[in-house]
Amino acid sequence: MAEAIIGSGPPQHSLKRVIGRRALLLFVVGDILGAGIYALVGKVAGYVGGALWLPFLIAFVLAALTASAYAELVGKYPQAAGAALYANKAFNIPFVTFVVAFAVLMSGITSASAAARAFGGRYLGEFVTLPVVVGAFIFLGLVTLVNFAGISESVKVNVVLTVIEAFGLLVVIAIGVHALLFGDGEPARALSFHPANGAFLGVLGGTALAFYALLGFEDSVNLAEESKDPQRDYPRALFGGLVVAATIYMAVAFTATMLVDSETLTDSSGPLLEVVKVAGSAFPPKLFALIALLAVGNTALINMLMASRLMYGMAREGIVPKVFAAVHPTRSTPWVAIVFTVGIAAVLVATGDVSSLADTTVLLLLCVFTLVNVAVLVLRKDRVEHDHYRAPSWMPVVGALVCLVLVLPVTGRDGDVYLRAGVLVAVGAVLWSVNRLFLLGGDGGPGGVSEGESPS
């Protein structure tokens, strides 16, 4: 087993390479599918009207641009730190490295927190009435236990939940096919276009929100250190997962708007449940609600799993105190990082709502994606000995420009989203300063390279 050495301290337990190509593909699909399509698809309809599938199509194209940059970088540097590692190698500015890492970390936690809040919405209401915060806290506790159990156990749970959530979406698609065959619904409504704020702003706003439903591909970067063959497996799993998810999303969106009017979809916290209920007794609404709850749960599990691995990777790179690189000797999981990330999630669950937390996730990641697209071009001068995927140069260039546009307020994003993201980054800046002033010792600065590790 390779040893991860921080400074001159004792050897640390390293992560195990146990994830194969198929499990990685399912992980990417499972990370993309989930809370976004189950909880927020109706909100996209509020931007564009009946042509609900259009923002998802555009969001897929935009996501593929940035995914190409990740596919190249993870092949060159198959380590757990992800975007933080790429920023460190490309720009070599410790504070920029920390901000990127912390933004990705917080985006995962805000996404998981949004999923936890969504867990207590209309889908849960089919079974029991609980305060949203209470249900979310119980839910976070269960997710934390699975995360701590180990990566193999977590991936196995993910595989099961991925199959379940995909089945739920296929049920919606089957309902749509049945409606088309028997002349039910209004297919023409799926082709109507009634943007709320004009064509450009309507599509832009809808695409920015639909982008949340396609997030997750970047999380799998942090499993590179636990994948058996990341140079070969990751690009295939990444692009394959995006295509599968986008195809399902567009079919679900077409079905939803064909069977349910846009106003009903927009106002519902469980929009796909509205579709199932329109179908009558064809599929039990309670069973679909259970599937939706498991899908939302999968989103939270994967995001908390990735947040803890990112914290671990940051500690390995010397960006945060090395205590966060501690790995449990028997479970081989980064237990200190897990405790830290779930604590932040609990605060967000208690203070935010689903839509604002989801939008905060998108904003943070769009900023990171802009830098990642630039970093892949900067790092072209850094040659590595092994073969890896190389993205066409135009893709990261266009990707950076598109992400920058989507960050701007022209998308209709509320001001409190910018405020929350700013506060989270400011908290990160404080932590970086504390680490720099009091916790460096002789181990090197944040964003530096640990003793015994290669700087390339």
Q: So what's the pLDDT on residue 387? A: 76
How high is the pLDDT of residue 153? Answer: 62
Question: What's residue 6's pLDDT?
Answer: 28
pLDDT confidence of residue 298: 79
Cα(342)–Cα(347) distance, integer angstroms: 9
Predicted pLDDT of residue 370: 95
**Which of 247-256, 268-277, 309-318, 347-356 is the least confident region?**
309-318
**396-428 confidence digits (pLDDT tens):** 999 999 999 889 887 778 888 899 899 889 877
Nearest alpha carbon to residue 133 among 362, 351, 363: 351
Average pLDDT of the segment spanning 345-373: 89
Task: Tell me which residue of 260, 309, 288, 243 sits closest to 33, measured CA to CA.
Answer: 243
Confidence of residue 69 (pLDDT cuts 50, 70, 90): very high
Between residues 250 and 75, which one has the greater pLDDT? 250
Answer yes or no: is 259 within a domain: yes
Within-domain flag for 253: yes
> Does residue 4 fall inside a structural domain?
no
The total domain count for the chain is 1
Phi–psi pair at 385, nearest 5 degrees: -75, -30
What Rg do the C-alpha atoms of the chain give, in angstroms?
A: 21
Q: Do residues 86 and 368 touch, judged by C-beta distance below 8 A?
A: no
- Per the CB < 8 A criterion, the answer to whether 248 and 220 are in contact is no
Least confident of 119-123, 274-278, 423-427: 119-123
Q: 26, 236 in Cβ contact below 8 A?
A: no
pLDDT exceeds 70 at position 150 = no
Whether residue 324 is contained in a domain is answered as yes
Q: What pLDDT score does 450 carry?
A: 37
Residues spanned by the domain of 77? 21-438
Angle between helices 415-438 and 94-119 (to 10 degrees): 130
Asked whether residue 4 carries a pLDDT value surpassing 50, the answer given is no
How much of the chain exceeds pLDDT 90, in percent? Answer: 17
Greater model confidence, 392 or 352: 392
Would you say residue 196 lies in a domain?
yes
Task: Write the CATH number for 347.
Answer: 1.20.1740.10
Q: Specify whether the CB–CB gap between 444 and 319 falls below 8 A.
A: no
Query: CA–CA distance from 372 to each of 269, 388, 399 (Å)?
Result: 33, 17, 9
Asked whether residue 5 carries a pLDDT value surpassing 50, the answer given is no
Residue at 14 is within a domain:
no
User: Looking at residue 95, what is its pLDDT?
Assistant: 87
Sequence-distant (≥ 6) Cβ neighbours of residue 410 within 8 angstroms: 201, 204
The closest alpha carbon to 203, from 398, 356, 52, belongs to 52
Mean pLDDT of the chain: 80
What is the structure's pLDDT at 455?
A: 28
Residue 107 maps to a domain: yes
* CA 127 to centroid of chain Cα atoms: 28
How far apart are alpha carbons 79 and 399 in whole angstroms?
Answer: 23
Mean pLDDT on 195-215: 80
- Report yes or no on 2 lying in a domain: no
d(CA 56, CA 292): 19
pLDDT top residue among 398 and 387: 398
Q: What is the pLDDT of residue 339?
A: 87
